[in-house]
Amino acid sequence: MKLAIALALVSGACAANSTAMKPPSRFADAVLVGGTVVTMDPLRPQADGLAIIDGHIDTVGSAADIRARIGPQTKVIELRGRSVVPGLVDAHCHLYGLGKALEILDLRGLTSIQAIVERVTAAAATRPASEWIEGRGWDQNLWTEKEFPTGGALDRVANPVSLRRIDGHSLWANAAAMRAAGVTRETKDPHGGRIIRDGSGAPTGVFVDAAMAIIDQRIPEPDEAAIRRRLEAAERVAVAQGLTGVHEMGIEDDVVAVYRTLEASGALKLRVYALLTGPPHVGELATRRPDVDPTGTKLFVLGGVKLYADGSLGSRSAALLAPYGDDPKNDGIIITDEPALVTAARAALAGGWQMAVHAIGDRANRNVLDAYREARVPPERRFRIEHAQVVAPADIPRFAAQGVIASMQPTHATSDMPWAEARVGGDRIIGAYAWRSLVASGAHVAFGSDFPVEEVPPLWGLWAVVSRQDRDGKPAGGWHPEQRLGLDEAIHAYTVEPAFAAFQEQHRGRIAPGFVADLTVFDRVLLADHLLDAKVAMTLVGGAVVYDGPATGR
């Protein structure tokens, strides 16, 4: 059998070479030649160049093969030793969220409450007192006192203030914001959320998971022009970092409508596979239908629904099978319980939707796997677990066995490693950020970033995958290095696997004849030890150059 497979591969490669050397029946629209092409195609893993016709890969081969496709009107991109990979795709991010984050206060990296207060106070000095001040990115793990903020540090500001934690699972509000939302000590914790209170029972201003909606519902909604402005700004950042596509995780119909307008007008430049935010839409899933994309060429596809099983590790609201190691009275929050997940999964199956569920803790991951099993989700429906961050070792084989996609974010590991083991303990850390274990089990593992929770560049994610180190090279030897992947495996999880997760593996994710010409070009050959030295040189979507130049932006 192995001999037969080998002969078939050789035969296929020879046929491809033979076809490439025939006189062309049509010259290429564009060629990229004179570099290293990493194809992710097992029939031809590497080549010198490629030719594009009608937005698709026509020929992959040697420099001679490709130069034979150049005609008078062919756009020639001389690689001069640069490298090309299939277009990188972020399989879990918030593009609209990034656009909003670009407009509000950036609190990432601030190491004290005082630094945050100063930034908010400076913003308030330029705005009317009635205008809400929003921000994102605070992280109590960076402060001397590594606990949620308490008291009225923000109350010197007259404006209502709403500041989201870096993970998006906690919100810090001032007294003006709480007054606007009608919050008092009598306000009850909602299901799936928690209001942090002081010793007397009074709200401190921190709202966790579902409780954030109490404040959010008072913030004025953006209009269509603001949504468009944010999406276009975020798109410019994404393509500049080499992304040809994203999986947009959880949006409402007003954002869907703007995406459709952008696509219809030709203003959308990268491919967006989008999922609705779950709870408001579960009741309509059985009758509402997802988009279809039989050729893999659409720029916007609404294909799924996203729910939340629990919160986050950083906010200590991820649902764990046993209490937190650094908070023994707390085992997290269940946002959507298992029976509700079963109901949603059955509705998604009935309507033809893909379902993805945010699950961070080992209890949440088990609940989702159990719910998918109870709903009898067939593997071909490709239901997903987003993050799969802390998984009980006994549950790791279930992803492959049930056909559940593990959609993971490598830089979460390198961001969380200073404190993650204290949260879950030495025994459970074995199943945390366990990329190698999941890949070895046969599961489909797709990588993304979760931006704007993390930063946009996929190169930083690739580095985290191959090194298990931060961008300063710490810790030496990598954090739990047994979970590292090789560079080819890492690229596979940013190309082939996102295509599979979006039902487009026959059209995207590889550089092979007939595939869509979505391409990421780097300024050098990618080497595992020097990924952080590389820069994005060019990004092509459907054969069109949508970014050309040194990478800039977040």
pLDDT reading at 405 higher than 80: yes
Give residue 551's pLDDT.
Answer: 53
Closest CA to 83 of 517, 527, 510: 527
pLDDT tens string 522-535: 999 999 999 999 99
Cis-peptide, bond into residue 72, ω within 30° of zero = no
pLDDT tens string 302-326: 999 999 999 999 999 999 999 999 9
Give residue 145's pLDDT.
Answer: 87
Confidence of residue 152 (pLDDT cuts 50, 70, 90): confident
Q: What kind and span of H or E run contains 158?
A: none
Give residue 550's pLDDT.
Answer: 72
Q: What is the dihedral of CA 105, 111, 139, 316, to 10 degrees?
A: -160
Over residues 494-498, the mean pLDDT reads: 98
Q: For the chain, how many structural domains are there in total?
A: 1
pLDDT reading at 125 higher than 50: yes
Give residue 280's pLDDT.
Answer: 80
Give residue 150's pLDDT.
Answer: 78
Confidence of residue 1 (pLDDT cuts 50, 70, 90): very low
Q: CA-CA distance, 440 to 457, in Å (whole number)?
A: 26
Q: Across all residues in the chain, what is the average pLDDT?
A: 93
Confidence of residue 16 (pLDDT cuts 50, 70, 90): very low
Over residues 122-143, the mean pLDDT reads: 93
pLDDT reading at 8 higher than 70: no
pLDDT tens string 407-443: 999 999 999 999 999 999 999 999 999 999 999 999 9
Strand partners of residue 140 = none
Over residues 376-385, the mean pLDDT reads: 98
Report the percentage of the chain scoring pLDDT > 70.
95
194 domain-assigned: yes
161 domain-assigned: yes
Give residue 24's pLDDT.
Answer: 62
Tokens linked to 265: 């007008």
Helices H / strands E in the chain, number of each? 17, 22
pTM, rounded to two decimals: 0.90
Closest CA to 165 of 117, 202, 212: 212
pLDDT tens string 243-293: 999 999 999 999 999 999 999 999 999 999 999 998 888 989 999 999 999
Q: In terms of DSSP bridges, do strands 161-165 and 170-173 run parallel, antiparallel, or are they unpaired?
A: antiparallel
Q: Do residues 551 and 458 touch, judged by C-beta distance below 8 A?
A: no
109 domain-assigned: yes
379 domain-assigned: no
Q: What is the CATH number of the domain that holds 126?
A: 3.10.310.70
76 domain-assigned: no
54 domain-assigned: no
Q: CA-CA distance, 513 to 172, in Å (whole number)?
A: 52
Strand partners of residue 46 = 38
Report the percentage of the chain scoring pLDDT > 90.
90
378 domain-assigned: no
State which residues form the domain around 112.
96-216
Give residue 281's pLDDT.
Answer: 86
How distant is the alpha carbon of residue 365 from its chain centre?
A: 18
pLDDT reading at 14 higher than 60: no
pLDDT tens string 439-466: 999 999 999 999 999 999 999 999 999 9
Any idea what the Cα angle at residue 337 is, between residues 316 and 364, rounded to 5°? 45
Terminal CA-to-CA distance of the chain, rounded, Å? Answer: 49
447 domain-assigned: no
50-56 contacts: CB < 8 A, separation 24 or more? 50/84, 50/511, 50/517, 50/519, 52/28, 52/517, 52/543, 53/26, 53/28, 53/29, 54/29, 54/543, 55/297, 55/516, 55/517, 55/542, 55/543, 55/544, 56/514, 56/515, 56/516, 56/517, 56/543
Q: CA-CA distance, 353 to 116, in Å (whole number)?
A: 41
Over residues 113-127, the mean pLDDT reads: 94
Cβ within 8 Å of residue 18, ≥6 positions away:
none
